[in-house]
């Protein structure tokens, strides 16, 4: 495929051209009026003046087709009989060769949100995902001649890139905390999405300014099951922390009893009583329901 590079086209301010066109139109009208007023025996001089005025008027109108107007962050791509002749990005009233075809294209920043798509993640779980893409045209020649429809091209390639991204990462990974996931490492995932999009958009002369995931969730058919799995994992993690803390508290309590502190007498516990004490204290600390104390009114052995 032949590559087309953007370069500056030949154009100039349209104000000067407008003055000359206006002067030519005014002169042609004067010549026509003057020709109509000239009378002689043959009438040839008056006819010649009127004809010259008409030719000048038609010429001025043809030259006026070279005038065009550009707003800020707009560009005009010139072609002459199918050959690319450059790009003009200067705003205001402009003038170029009247034979040029001037195709206007926006250089402004644009954004859109992809459709919410259902796709399987790296673990095969169906998820729903969507992203927002911010982009602008950076190469007008490629945007016009590199692809058939620049905006439609960006939209379709963005949909494909989002689907590819979803297949590259798991939504979440409960067993392996070192694996990168869609929901866990959002910044890295968004950078990957932007790089993937930029690689696809280079052929269209488009610069991707930002790409980030906006919607991400499990598909409806597995959402409830995955929610239960997440809740179970959270409960297990919380229980683990509680047990670790309870073990440390029981150990400190036994050591404090045996040391006696600064003003108290030490209480020496044998192995069985340490086990009983630890069991009761662990039950009180780690239980998820309120405990009911039992008062022993007999001896320690009864």
Q: Based on the domain organization, do 73 and 98 belong to the same domain?
A: yes
State residue 297's pLDDT score.
52
Q: Which residue has 């003003």 as its token pair? A: 263
Q: For 90-145, how does the pLDDT look when each residue is reduced to its tens digit (9 = 90+)?
A: 999 999 999 999 999 999 999 999 999 888 888 888 888 999 999 999 999 999 99
Boundary (domain end) residue, out of 104, 121, 138: 104
Boundary (domain end) residue, out of 187, 218, 249: 218
Q: For 21-53, how does the pLDDT look when each residue is reduced to its tens digit (9 = 90+)?
A: 899 888 888 887 777 766 554 556 667 777 888
In-domain check, residue 298: no
Q: Based on the domain organization, do 134 and 210 belong to the same domain?
A: yes
Q: Based on the domain organization, do 182 and 240 belong to the same domain?
A: no
DSSP string, 35-89: HHH---SS-HHHHHHHHHHHHHHHHHHHHHTTEEEE-TTEEEEEEETTEEEEEE-
CATH number for the domain that contains residue 188: 3.30.479.30
State residue 274's pLDDT score.
72
- Phi/psi region, residue 270 (left: phi>0; alpha: psi -120 to 50; beta: rest), is beta
In-domain check, residue 302: no
Q: Based on the domain organization, do 42 and 96 belong to the same domain?
A: yes
CB 135 within 8 A of CB 190: no
Boundary (domain end) residue, out of 179, 195, 218: 218
Q: Based on the domain organization, do 70 and 156 belong to the same domain?
A: no
Residues counted in the chain: 302
In 3-state terms the chain splits into helix, strand, coil percentages (rounded to 5) of 50, 20, 30
Q: Based on the domain organization, do 214 and 227 belong to the same domain?
A: no
Q: Based on the domain organization, do 87 and 159 belong to the same domain?
A: no
Q: Based on the domain organization, do 204 and 273 belong to the same domain?
A: no
Range of the domain at 34: 12-104
Q: Based on the domain organization, do 171 and 271 belong to the same domain?
A: no
CB 145 within 8 A of CB 3: no
In-domain check, residue 143: yes
Structure tokens at 301: 């052995």
Q: What span, in angstroms and rounded, lies between the C-alpha atoms of 133 and 109?
A: 11
CB 180 within 8 A of CB 236: no
Q: For 257-283, how does the pLDDT look when each residue is reduced to its tens digit (9 = 90+)?
A: 777 666 666 777 677 777 777 777 777
In-domain check, residue 293: no
Structure tokens at 145: 């001649």
State residue 44's pLDDT score.
65
Residue 255, CA distances (Å) to 79, 84, 245, 262, 274 in order: 91, 88, 16, 13, 10
Q: Based on the domain organization, do 78 and 142 belong to the same domain?
A: no
Total domains present in the chain: 3
In-domain check, residue 1: no
CB 13 within 8 A of CB 93: yes
Q: Based on the domain organization, do 118 and 203 belong to the same domain?
A: yes
pTM over 0.85: no
State residue 41's pLDDT score.
46
Q: Which residues pair with 147 in a beta bridge?
A: none
Structure tokens at 72: 């800020």
Q: For 140-196, how does the pLDDT look when each residue is reduced to its tens digit (9 = 90+)?
A: 999 999 899 999 999 999 999 999 998 888 887 766 567 788 888 888 999 999 999
Q: Based on the domain organization, do 118 and 207 belong to the same domain?
A: yes
């Amino acid at each position: 495929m032949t590559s087309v590079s953007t370069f500056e086209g030949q154009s100039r301010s349209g104000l000067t051209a407008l003055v000359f066109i206006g002067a030519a139109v005014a002169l042609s009208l004067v010549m026509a009026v003057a020709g109509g007023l000239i009378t002689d025996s043959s009438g040839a001089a008056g006819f010649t003046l009127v004809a010259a005025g008409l030719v000048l008027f038609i010429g001025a109108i043809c030259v006026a087709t070279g005038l065009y107007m550009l707003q800020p962050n707009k560009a005009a791509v010139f072609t002459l009989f199918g050959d690319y002749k450059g790009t003009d990005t200067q705003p205001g009233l402009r003038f170029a060769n009247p034979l040029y075809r001037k195709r206007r294209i926006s250089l402004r920043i644009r954004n859109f949100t992809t459709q919410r798509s259902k796709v399987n993640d790296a673990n095969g779980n169906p998820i729903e995902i969507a992203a927002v893409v911010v982009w602008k045209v950076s190469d007008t020649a490629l945007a016009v001649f590199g692809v058939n429809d620049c905006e439609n091209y960006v939209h379709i390639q963005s949909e494909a890139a989002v689907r590819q991204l979803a297949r590259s990462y798991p939504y979440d990974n409960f067993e392996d905390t070192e694996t990168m996931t869609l929901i866990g490492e959002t910044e890295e995932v968004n950078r990957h999405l932007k790089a993937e999009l930029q690689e696809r958009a280079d052929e269209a002369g488009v610069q991707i300014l930002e790409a980030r995931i906006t919607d991400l969730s499990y598909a409806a058919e597995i959402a409830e099951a995955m929610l239960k799995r997440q809740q179970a994992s959270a409960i297990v993690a919380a229980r683990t922390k509680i047990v670790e803390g309870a073990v440390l508290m029981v150990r400190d309590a036994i050591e404090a009893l045996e040391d006696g502190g600064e003003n108290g007498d030490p209480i020496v516990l044998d192995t069985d009583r340490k086990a009983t004490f630890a069991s009761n204290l662990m039950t009180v600390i780690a239980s998820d329901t309120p405990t009911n104390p039992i008062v022993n009114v007999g001896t320690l052995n009864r």
